[in-house]
Structure 1
């Protein structure tokens, strides 16, 4: 309370006056982690501070090197608008160590934008230096373990925390079957054990019965050797014993890694003369501390192993549902594909991990050498998304065999997607108020390598890139249709997928990809890019790789955008043949005499192509059978029923009735039946010859079971038995019957 006669207190004291009296360090940084203010207590606590540090990085205030990643994580977290709390190890100017507990909040502009970071720090423990190190170590281990579920990352974090603060050497050995396998070998400074002495990472380890690690495993409790020299400790080998003597190993601790009653392995620590510590010996308190640390480490290892097992199972499940590692050999195309699952997300204080997703792709052989290409993405992650993806791939392969246009295939797939998940969606109760269905984006292409015609339709997917003569463009469809599964069954509102057709010049490259390629997670201090910026980087990377092979283009596309992949990435690169493939075709009238003409054309073409006589003869036989079938059915096709209506075009006033005198009608002559024809198309590939017969009859052929006395009905049976593959497909004005004959060298 202000006394009578005292001057009034200024209510607007400068912030520096208030913060200068605070009994904790207050540090203010800009968006780039450069110090713009630190109060007087900062120098008292950290040993660094003052006006000479303004403008320097916060790392210059003595943050230990092993905590630099944690400092960057603090900046990323707070600049997004969140708060951060954790423990740092700081090396003071006098060489001593102090553990500080830091609390960081965003520094906001009056508009609400985050302009910097405010950090409040205090000493973690007020006790002697060694006790402070011990308790601070336990706290930091817990924080590090909570930040990752990836096994190798978890082990590395533990070793980096223990060395060199608490140990000069750290080993972690885990059981792989019945044997111990070294997973971590971490040492102070830049030193590493010479080959043939201590076991290296990946090698098996066998401890003799008297070894302190063997005792720890047998007792299921931590074991400490306070003075190695006095106790004459045993060693796994003479070489390892000699190395320990040369290094001056003074004290060791081993603790079993126990989780849920099971021994996972053993962690051992050692002190040696390389650190020149004032007291290079462990005691009973250190043993208990390492035992507590080992319990936490074992639980983290067990969780990481369970997570990795689940993730590897889902990943193997997904990879087995995708095509194999090598694309199929197809005429007129070079194909490369790449699939990369997202890596686990590491974030301070979080156990969030990314799982495999539902990205998928496929290359489907169609009729007469044509090819179906598809790339898509299923909403969600994990095994469920992978299962839906597998069903989608199987369904699309089945639908594609109908050889219908891409837009029709997408409509059929959309209907299938909307009915594949029952009420309640992914395992939800059937009476849930909301009915969920998987949402799927995909683009389906059909390419004919002989005509170079590409037809495609898009269902809400990223447009592919088209690389022609060094120019890269987004190949947008006429209309980008909605994702599959958007509509609810029974609610109407038909969704149409529009189709586009293009002729691809020789040597054209098509790059298909999923959105995980351009939606990257920035790395440490990395810049975040918008989708359009990422697309432009992708276009530029593909443009630079124009003259390289398809594998190099796929790799260039994957490396185009900096950052870690936050979602699965699927890439398919397709390049058309630089030279035209061999094809011959001719149109004939559908008359019996033309069967021999069609066979003669086929025989001459096969001879020019260098086919073996027996192959050419077989192919000509099947040509005769298919052409004969077309001619017979074309001749027997019933003509459409017509009405006899004679209008004014014949010079009459109106329709002619049956009571009118027919002798007065003009002489119309006998109407000629419409001329019918068929086209024989022969295609030569590297390994096969395809034969197509196209006609105007819409009826698709089927194999008949001919009786013993039937004169016909065996033509398609011969084709089915002698050709490698055969089939029929509807065309815009009729149908096409085709078969394949493999070429033999």
Structure 2
């Protein structure tokens, strides 16, 4: 039934009829930017005829310099966004038309984005010259809005101005007190011969009277409407001759001023390259270029400030991370990569990325063991980099105690929560932002090939073994560091695990920037599983290569720009067994000489220099003597007698003792039984550049250096070790302690 007042024509009016009568172009594209509908006005506006359904939207005559913008439009809208901007289109008859476009997503009833709907109209209805002028200013403003990278800013300006408004574009910026050419762009792909006009990167010096010198001196745009009639001083004779040969007809130079500071000069010129009907600028063009120069200068200033801050943050972060070259370690080959996120531009959103908090480290531990860590501080910017630096320093300090990985993570978690509390705003705990960190800490012993580790919410590394690529399985992923400080509550446990790595096995450690939010060509993003699969396939293809090749393949595995920093550490175990010798002795004084003899024989078999071997044997004697003396002087375990039980009184009134007390008295008469003989174990290790000596015993007390007096007979053993060894220390073990020292091997 018709509604009241509704005519039969209106009730049956199809949507196609309405779209056909609109004085606005309506174009519908699928997800692949192919046209599936266009109304009549679109044909008139863009000047094409025939059937365009099924063809790419680029067939509408979008100018070459705007095609990247069209691609960005499609990606942005296919992700559910809305886009508005200006395009330059070349009609079928060769005329140029600037169109103002508004694009929205085409949604399926389910809510999924199926395509793009574009509404377009002329940017300005006036003569062709005025249309180009206003459209140019609008497009320059749009392109500069989201650019904070200097090279990108300058490139976009040149692409926009040439050839639509100029045949030649030069931008010169001050570097200190020198003017340096940063842009030299020309129409029709032409390039000036060497030795004529200054090339990019070369200094420029304009003589007095030159239009660029006048523009900088007056701090205002200068127009040379007819260069043929104007005599000016060229920088060089060859540049003047080239200008005459090219038929330069008209020039505008404008100073680049930002916040009252002169940054440089921009000059535009017309010549015979484009064969324009009227190759001359006028006063309106001068004012237009002056306005453009003001916008360019502000964008350049912002880009320079951003790059300075970013370079400072990168230098700060680089200083906080290990150096470029990994250390030489026995039984391991190491390669690492750190790549900060590149500034990515997104229409209407500006720069999306900053320096992050990814970190990694390789820490030499006692007796040739190695600590390895990979982690990521949540967030970006200077704060994340500062937290990363503090975390690395704290972990290095904790690692020197040689505690198990799980205990190291517990201490690091406590430190992380304490650091987060220190930054909590006063009077507003609900506004506090906790510091959350994911990391895995590994300890690898190259002589036993045992890898011990504990995880705090980090992705497992890849494991390459026997040519197969998989993941090092974690029994427990663990919670991120700082979670308890985020209000989750509850006790966080970090479980220690261990694996024995095969000879030649390789681990690929990485942060989530390698696999997260990598864009596809259609504007969507790869899932983490897709990224992991591509990473495994890329690593498998070079599994037999060296660690550097694997690191490069891992970084390049997932295509697309990254919007987070990436850290990669590749370690490969040695295929050869490392030299080690050990023996267990009873903790008796006579065994000191036996231990020294064993060390001497071992060093001789290893071909150690006699002087070095003698020094090592001396220190072995001192450490073993210290262990034997403490074992002999250690207090005997306290034995508590059973409490006497009074069973009653004897006939003489004396108490009758219980059986326990009678046995105790019997034991006292026979003498107290001595405890079992204590033992110690001596382990010797040889590396490429050092010897390591370890002495294990069951005494939990850690040794310390004593200050021996002149008349004291002992107390100097550890002092000698401290003075003569490269490093020494003691670490707790599951059943006691280990005292160790390191000595260098001279070639």
TM-score normalised to structure 1 length: 0.95
Q: Describe the superposition over 1:372-392 as per-residue Cα deviations: whole angstroms up to 9, x where unpaired.
A: 000111111111111111110
Quote how far apart the aligned CAs of 1:635 are.
Answer: 1.3
Contact 2:220 2:290 in 1 (8 A): yes
Q: CA deviation at 1:661?
A: 11
Secondary structure class of the residue paired with 1:421: helix
Contact 2:462 2:507 in 1 (8 A): yes
Residue in structure 1 matched with residue 550 of structure 2 by the alignment: 553
2:569 to 569, 572, 585: 572
CA contact (8 A) 2:332 2:574 kept: yes
**Using the alignment, how far apart are the partners of 1:519 and 1:694 within structure 2?**
46
Matches within 5 A, 1:481-560: 481-488=478-485, 493-522=490-519, 525=522, 528-560=525-557
Q: Secondary structure of the equivalent of 2:346?
A: coil
Q: Distance in 2 between matches of 1:430 and 1:592?
A: 65
What SS does the aligned partner of 2:351 have? coil
Give the superposition deviation at 1:658. 3.1
Q: Partner residue of 2:606?
A: 609
2:593 maps to what in 1?
A: 596
- Describe how 1:297-446 pairs up with structure 2 within 5 A: 297-422=296-421, 425=424, 428-446=425-443
User: In the TM superposition, what is the alpha-carbon distance from 1:186 to its structure 2 partner?
Assistant: 1.1
Secondary structure at the aligned position of 2:497 is classed as strand
1:18 alignment partner in structure 2? 18
> Residue 55 in 1 paired to residue 57 in 2?
no
Partner Cα distance (1:314, 1:7) in 2: 69
Indicate if the aligned counterparts of 2:31 and 2:522 stay in contact, CA closer than 8 A.
Answer: no
SS in 2 for 1:393: helix
In structure 1, what is the Cα distance between the partners aligned to 2:545 and 2:127?
Answer: 64
Deviation string, structure 1 residues 261-283 (Cα, Å, up to 9, x no partner): 00001011111111111111111
| 1:292 paired to 2:291 | yes
The secondary structure found in structure 2 opposite 1:566 is coil
Q: How does 1:452-491 map to 2 (within 5 A)?
A: 452-488=449-485
| Structure 2 SS opposite 1:249 | coil
8 Å CA contact 1:477–1:499 kept in 2: the answer is no
Instruction: Quote the Cα distance in structure 2 between the aligned partners of 1:656 and 1:61.
Output: 109
Question: Does the 8 Å CA contact 2:223/2:283 hold for their aligned counterparts?
Answer: yes
Tell me what 2:653 maps to: none
Which residues of structure 1 form unaligned runs of 5+? Answer: 647-653
CA contact (8 A) 1:694 1:734 kept: yes
Q: Secondary structure at the match of 1:229?
A: coil
* 1-structure distance, mates of 2:106, 2:499: 55
Q: What are the within-5 Å matches in structure 2 for residues 159-238 of structure 1?
A: 159-238=158-237
Counterpart-to-counterpart distance in 1, 2:559 and 2:420 = 37
| 1:360-412, Cα deviation, whole Å (9 max, x unpaired) | 11111100111100011111111111111111010000000110100000000
Q: Matched residues in 1 for 2:314 and 2:684: separation?
A: 43
Secondary structure, aligned partner of 1:658: helix
Separation in structure 2 between the aligned mates of residue 325 and residue 573 of structure 1, nearest angstrom = 14
Query: Any residues of structure 2 matched to 1:39-118 within 5 Å, and which?
Result: 39-50=39-50, 52-118=51-117
State the distance in 2 between where 1:662 and 1:6 align. Answer: 119
Counterparts of 1:367 and 1:615, CA distance in 2: 20
CA pair 666-439 structure 1, distance change in 2 beyond 3 A = closer
Residue 119 of structure 1 and its aligned partner are, at CA, apart by: 0.8
Please report how far the alpha carbon of residue 644 of structure 1 lies from its aligned counterpart in structure 2 after TM superposition.
Answer: 4.8
- The Cα of 1:432 is off from its aligned counterpart by 4.2
Correspondence for 1:651: none
- 2: distance between equivalents of 1:655 and 1:103? 102
C-alpha contact 2:346 2:352 (8 A) present in aligned 1 = no
2:636 to 634, 639, 652: 639
Q: Which residue in 2 is equivalent to 1:649?
A: none
How far apart are 1:352 and its partner, in Å? 3.0
Distance (Å, rounded) in 1 between the aligned partners of 2:314 and 2:117: 42
d(CA) in 1 for partners of 2:238 and 2:115? Answer: 54
Task: Tell me how far apart the structure 2 counterparts of residues 238 and 720 of structure 1 sit (CA, whole Å).
Answer: 75
Q: 2:274, 2:628 → 1: CA distance?
A: 95
Residue 316 of structure 1, CA deviation: 1.1
Superposed displacement of residue 350, structure 1: 2.6
Deviations 1:306-337 (A, max 9, x none): 11111111111111111111111111111111
1:261 and 2:230 correspond: no
Q: Cα gap change, 1:684/1:87 in structure 2, threshold over 3 Å: closer, same or farther? A: same
- Counterpart of 1:565 in 2: which secondary structure? coil
Aligned mate of 1:587, from 579, 584, 608: 584
1:423–1:435 contact (8 Å) kept in structure 2: no
Deviation at 1:456, TM superposition (A): 0.4
Q: Tell me, in whole angstroms, the C-alpha distance in 1 between the residues paired with 2:21 and 2:301.
A: 48
The corresponding residue for 2:654 is none
Residue 470 of structure 1 deviates from its aligned partner by 1.4
What is the CA–CA distance in structure 2 between the aligned matches of 1:402 and 1:220, rounded to whole Å? Answer: 65
Mapped to 2, the partners of 1:514 and 1:90 lie a distance apart of 44
Residue 676 of structure 2: aligned partner? 674
Q: Distance in 1 between matches of 2:5 and 2:296?
A: 65
Contact 1:149 1:353 (8 Å CA) reproduced: no
Partners of 1:27 and 1:37 lie apart in 2 by 6
Q: Whole-Å Cα distance in 1 between the matches of residues 438 and 658 of structure 2?
A: 57
- Residue 739 of structure 1 aligns with which residue? 741
CA distance in structure 2 between the aligned counterparts of 1:423 and 1:611, rounded to whole angstroms: 53
Shift of 1:666: 14
- The CA deviation at 1:527 is 5.2
Partners of 1:598 and 1:680 within 8 A in 2: yes
Question: By how many angstroms is 1:165 displaced?
Answer: 0.3
C-alpha displacement of 1:431: 3.3
TM-score (norm 2): 0.95
> Residue deviations 1:433-474, cap 9 Å, x none?
333321011000001111111000000011111111211121
Indicate the larger mover: 116-125 or 233-242.
233-242
1:145-202 per-residue CA deviation (whole Å, 9 max, x = no partner) reads 0121111111111110001100011111110000011111111122222222211111
Per-residue deviation at 1:643?
Answer: 3.9
For 1:20 and 1:661, locate their aligned partners in 2 and report how far apart those are by CA, in whole Å: 113
SS in 1 for 2:322: coil
Aligned to 1:704: 706
What is aligned with 2:731? 729
**1:40, 1:49 within 8 Å by CA — same for their partners in 2?**
no
Superposition CA RMSD, Å: 2.3
Question: How many corresponding residue pairs?
Answer: 733
What SS is found at the alignment partner of 1:456? strand
